Amino acid sequence: MATGSGLPNRCSVTFNQTIGCVLTVDCRPLTVDIIYQKQKNMKKTPIKHFVKPKVSRKKREDIGLSPYAVVFRGEKRMEQTLINAMDFDLEEVREFEVTTTEQLRDLHERTSLSWIFVNGIHDTSRLEDIAREFKIPNNILSDILNPSLRSKVEVFDKGIFVTIKLLQYQEKTDQVTIENLSLIISENTLISFREEAGPVFEPIRERIRKYNNKIRTSGSDYLAFTLLDVVVDNYIYILGALGEKIETLDDKMTTNPHKQLLDEINIFKREINFLRKSILPAKEMILSLAKLDVEFLHDINRLHFRELQYNINEATELSDSYREILFDQISIYHTIVSTRLNDIMRTLTIFSVIFIPLTFIVGVYGTNFDILPELHWKNGYYIMWGVMVVIALAMLIYFSRKKWF
């Protein structure tokens, strides 16, 4: 018994004295090897996640807690809670750290506009001091202490409560972080609560310091708009950054659609879906906020909240668009792989068809009859080989003219 070696991998010809020539093709391993032959030689590198946030989730011990329970339900991100304030009017700006309840009382009694920003919400005692001074109900305070809370807006006697997911792109790590931002909007005061400190709202502070008449004189509702506008702008910026990464996959798709590329597409799809979980509730919240009819929202500023609606709609459309692109890329990937598989199967079929008549000839002369006239011909062996070669060449020429390979 002998095995031919001139055929592709796992495609062999076996000569047997009794039954002749047999073609053996193991198609499944062959197709896998050919499609991913480059991948075998590639050094597989771990795929870096673009969105890798610290997400606060509901804990088992939180189940059944009263909605009025003043309990921090997240993970501590800062060593201590820091409370700072900016108090300003058209003439001056005062900035200071709030360390006593007397300072809170003074801010509450002033007629100028005050912005109190709380970084670190794990210290419930300090947040209770703020709640007592500004008449924040316990159910609202409980929501502030719950970082996993969905974006929402709620009106109470002394103000409006707003919570939204704040996403930030960290350029050093090329990743996105997420935290909860809560706002209390009252007549002359805006209180913002964040899980950790950061420079995301520093441009707003700079605008206040630089004698910006619009922020200094437009009330707490306009100041709240500027903060929410920063949040929505971050949504659009992050989606754009992620979109650039998604669009670069198109070139890789046509040149080398390897298995790791499919893993990247699936990771981006999960990240887009995660971003949508933050953006869609934020859209609902902003639409509800713009429709509120309360004294803390002035008619002159409703135009800005309509602009905010336009921006959040843009973010939603971007997320939908990139999500559709990812689904299309998955479809294209499978189409390319299927096309390559078809090419491989066509090549195997051509080899099989070429060897069918050759196998027939060898099989006929491998039978055990006593009388086979051609066996006694002087040049019978060479004639058989000549006929087989002519048949093989004729079929190759035919397939070539048909452009089958």
What are the pLDDT digits (tens) for 313-336?
Answer: 999 999 999 999 888 888 888 888
Lowest mean pLDDT among 36-40, 43-47, 262-266, 348-352: 36-40
233 band by pLDDT with thresholds 50, 70 and 90: very high
State the DSSP H helix or E strand holding residue 152, giving kind and residue range, or none if neither. Answer: strand 152-156
**Highest-pLDDT range among 9-18, 166-175, 179-188, 331-340:** 179-188
- Comparing 5 with 288, which gets the higher pLDDT? 288
Helices then strands (H, E): number in the chain? 11, 10
Indicate the domain borders of the chain. Answer: 2-42+337-401, 60-336
In 329-394, which ranges are E strands?
Answer: none
Residues 6+ apart with CB under 8 A from 322: 239, 242, 243, 246, 272
DSSP state of 187: S
- Comparing 257 with 33, which gets the higher pLDDT? 257
210 band by pLDDT with thresholds 50, 70 and 90: confident
Is the CB of residue 398 less than 8 Å from the CB of residue 391?
no
Buried residues in 185-197 as b, exposed as e (16+ CB within 10 A)? bbebbbbbbbbee
Q: According to CATH, what is the number of the domain 60-336?
A: 3.30.460.20
pLDDT in the model for residue 26 = 40
Q: What is the mean pLDDT of the chain?
A: 80
53 band by pLDDT with thresholds 50, 70 and 90: low
Which among 327, 334, 326 has a CA at the least distance from the CA of 247? 326
pLDDT in the model for residue 13 = 39
Is the CB of residue 356 less than 8 Å from the CB of residue 17?
no
Is the CB of residue 350 less than 8 Å from the CB of residue 303?
no
Which among 275, 257, 278, 255 has a CA at the least distance from the CA of 267? 275
Which among 148, 113, 118, 112 has a CA at the least distance from the CA of 136? 118
pLDDT at 203 over 80: yes
pLDDT at 6 over 50: no
Lowest mean pLDDT among 86-90, 145-149, 370-374: 370-374
pLDDT in the model for residue 32 = 33
When pLDDT is averaged across residues 12-25 and rounded to a whole number, the result is: 38
Is the CB of residue 332 less than 8 Å from the CB of residue 249?
no
pLDDT at 12 over 50: no
Q: How far apart are CA 242 and CA 176, in angstroms?
A: 10
